[in-house]
């Protein structure tokens, strides 16, 4: 099976490397020529456009920032749709609006092209390890056909339902992660302000009901002041924007998500959009006039 991979950023590069490790033949495309050359040294072939990728492969994985980028790559000039043969499958592993996933799938089906939406969770560390969680929407037979391919990049691959369902699941995931990071930030700020070691509080609570993957992943980063992005704040803002757009369309009030969105927007206004989303703690530090640390 020959695989195309479009989008070699923080997530896409390690994911594509894991496909190469799994012995898949890869054709890659990205605007960053440095990263495509890096993949070429590992055995990947470089393509110059999405159309060129589509002409050479059986299945294409896209890992792009947001809905407009996916639409441009798939339907735009020199896009996938111009080079695709009937029967090609696109697995969009970007985190985009579920509404756009459904629109894209409908357009592609007119040309005999299949689609799964399969966003991921886990950030850069799990992308590197190949232990991502993948949430998939689309036809069951397609899911079964490409399960092993997706599993080569992930610890968990779960079909949630029909097309768009994967991105609904990802939006739910991002709600929980955002609110969790906010809660961790509040707790560590309270401990610091009270003169109690945030590290000891973290160690005391992590084995109880307050323990979570988010707590273990993000509290140490906050205390160590390590805000190099595993998942950029700007990308979480993008996801929460999709959350709120979708919730408003469906008539579902999400007051906590909206509140965290505004906190993140305040940090972006302070120039922190490229920091890890654990930098949400800085919003609370500014309010309390204190810095979390060991």
Q: Find the catalytic residue in 45, 51, 170, 218.
A: 170
Question: Tokens representing 291?
Answer: 């810095």
In 3-state terms, the chain is what percent helix, strand and coil (to 5)?
55, 15, 30
Its sign, for the CA torsion 37, 124, 76, 237, is: negative
Phi, psi angle pair for 202, to nearest 5°: -55, -50
E strand or H helix at 26: strand 25-29
With beta carbons less than 8 A apart as the criterion, state whether 171 and 249 touch: no
Beta carbons of 4 and 27 less than 8 angstroms apart: yes
Direct distance between the N- and C-terminal alpha carbons of the chain, in angstroms, rounded to an integer: 50
C-alpha–C-alpha distance, residues 7 and 273, integer Å: 20
Dihedral, CA of residue 89, residue 94, residue 97 and residue 101, to nearest 10: 0
Q: Among 183, 139, 187, 147, which Cα is nearest to 165's?
A: 139
Residues with Cβ within 8 Å of 152's Cβ and at least 6 positions away in sequence, in order, are 18, 19, 21, 22, 24, 130
Q: Give catalytic status of residue 45 as yes or no.
A: no
Query: Annotated active-site positions, please?
Result: 170
């Amino acid at each position: 099976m020959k695989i195309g991979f479009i989008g070699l950023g923080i997530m896409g590069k390690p994911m594509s490397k894991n496909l190469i490790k799994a012995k898949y033949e890869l054709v890659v495309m990205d605007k960053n020529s440095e990263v495509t050359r890096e993949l070429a040294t590992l055995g990947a072939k470089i393509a110059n456009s999405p159309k060129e990728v589509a002409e050479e492969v059986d299945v294409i994985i896209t890992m792009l920032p947001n809905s407009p980028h996916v639409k441009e790559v798939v339907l735009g000039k020199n896009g996938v749709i111009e080079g695709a043969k009937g029967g090609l499958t696109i697995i969009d592993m970007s985190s985009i609006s579920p509404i756009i996933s459904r629109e894209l799938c409908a357009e592609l089906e007119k040309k005999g092209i299949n689609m799964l939406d399969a966003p991921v969770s886990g950030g850069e560390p799990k992308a590197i390890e190949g232990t991502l969680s993948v949430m998939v929407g689309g036809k069951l037979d397609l899911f079964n056909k490409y399960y092993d391919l997706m599993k080569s990049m992930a610890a968990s691959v779960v079909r949630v339902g029909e097309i768009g369902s994967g991105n609904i699941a990802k939006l739910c995931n991002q709600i929980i992660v955002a609110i969790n990071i906010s809660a961790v930030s509040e707790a560590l700020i309270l401990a610091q302000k009270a003169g109690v070691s945030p590290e000891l509080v973290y160690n005391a609570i992590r084995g109880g009901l307050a323990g979570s993957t988010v707590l273990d992943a993000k509290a140490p980063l906050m205390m160590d002041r390590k805000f190099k992005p595993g998942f950029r704040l700007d990308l979480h803002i993008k996801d929460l924007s999709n959350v709120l757009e979708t919730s408003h369309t469906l008539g579902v009030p999400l007051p906590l998500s909206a509140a965290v969105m505004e906190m993140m927007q305040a940090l972006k206004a302070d120039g922190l959009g490229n920091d890890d989303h654990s930098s949400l703690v800085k919003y609370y530090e500014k309010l309390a006039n204190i810095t979390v640390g060991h």
